[in-house]
Amino acid sequence: MPDSVVGTIGHDLHRTRRSVLNPYFSKSSIRRFEDRIQNTAGKLMGRLVEAGEIGEILPIKLAFKAATCDVISEYCFGVSTGYVEHDDYNRGWFDAVDAMFYMAWPMTYISWLGPLMERLPPSVIGLMHPGLKSLWDMHSVSPDTVFQCMRIC
């Protein structure tokens, strides 16, 4: 789209890139995973029923984020994060992800901030923002560990 503010790649390139991912999102692939999706949905429903019985106000947006993360991590890596089962749905981790997105723009314009943050030890990062430590731990996992998790599924 000439003179466009937001341009897109060509359709042929998009179709080629998308074709690599298509087998993972086919109806048959999702159906094979349905029991695990239902398992996570069942855990979430249990938490909803429990909250209703005791009159607890449930952070529904956070609960859905946790369930989504559980399903996606199990589908991609064969191991669920189990965030639905955490008392607080692992709020710290989601707050850290949100903080990371909020920091994207400042880090774009303050070029030395990103490298400085990367050099900080995880213990200091944990003091600054508790959820950032778990995000950093996830970032620093070796590729061999990721591939090993992928072999499990």
Planar angle of CA 6, 108, 95, nearest 5 degrees: 95
Ranked by mean pLDDT, which of 35-49, 90-104, 120-134 comes out on top? 35-49
Is the pLDDT score of 2 beyond 90? no
The whole-model pTM stands at 0.67
Residues 40, 69: Cα–Cα separation, whole Å = 10
Q: pLDDT value at position 7?
A: 59
Mean pLDDT value of segment 113-124: 80
In the chain, pLDDT over 70 holds for what percent of residues? 78
CB 127 within 8 A of CB 120: no
CB 38 within 8 A of CB 107: no
Secondary structure of 57-83 in HEC code, one letter for each residue:
CCCHHHHHHHHHHHHHHHHHHCCCCCH
The letter for the amino acid at 44 is: L
Mean pLDDT value of segment 125-140: 67
In the chain, pLDDT over 90 holds for what percent of residues? 32
- HSE (side-chain half, CA atoms, 13 Å) at 9: 7
